[in-house]
Amino acid sequence: MMSSGLLGKAAPAANTNATLYVVPASTFAIVNLSVVNRGGVDAKVRVACAASGTPATTDWIEYDAVVPANGGVLERTAIAIGAAEFFVVRDDMGTCSYRLFGLPKGE
């Protein structure tokens, strides 16, 4: 049985990629992302679906999206990720918490 619900979480240092989840081979996943900025300054967030933990230019699905200070939230829903893809996040301030929820699906 495949896992469902919480697939990954992180609070990476500033300008550091963090892989929240890697989709198992021969499956895909539909996921929802929740980001909260715990800091006192706006943060710029990036989100990618990539072939590795180091996204290429074409892998970013959010790029420098501003998440407001003091509890600002960014949520994205119904993101489809292919087999063996990495779900990668980062922000410029190191003050954001990320949670990825979803459901991996078999072929």
Confidence band of 105 (pLDDT split at 50, 70, 90): confident
Domains, in order of start, for the chain: 5-106 (2.60.120)
Give CA–CA dist 72/62, Å, rounded. 16
Beta bridge partners of 10: 98
| Structure confidence by residue, pLDDT tens digits, 5-63 | 999 999 999 999 999 999 999 999 999 999 999 999 999 999 999 999 999 999 999 99
Has residue 107 got a pLDDT over 70?
A: no
Neighbour-count burial of 3, counting CB atoms closer than 10 A to its CB (0-12 exposed, 13-18 middle, 19+ buried): exposed
To which residue do tokens 């049985």 refer?
Answer: 1
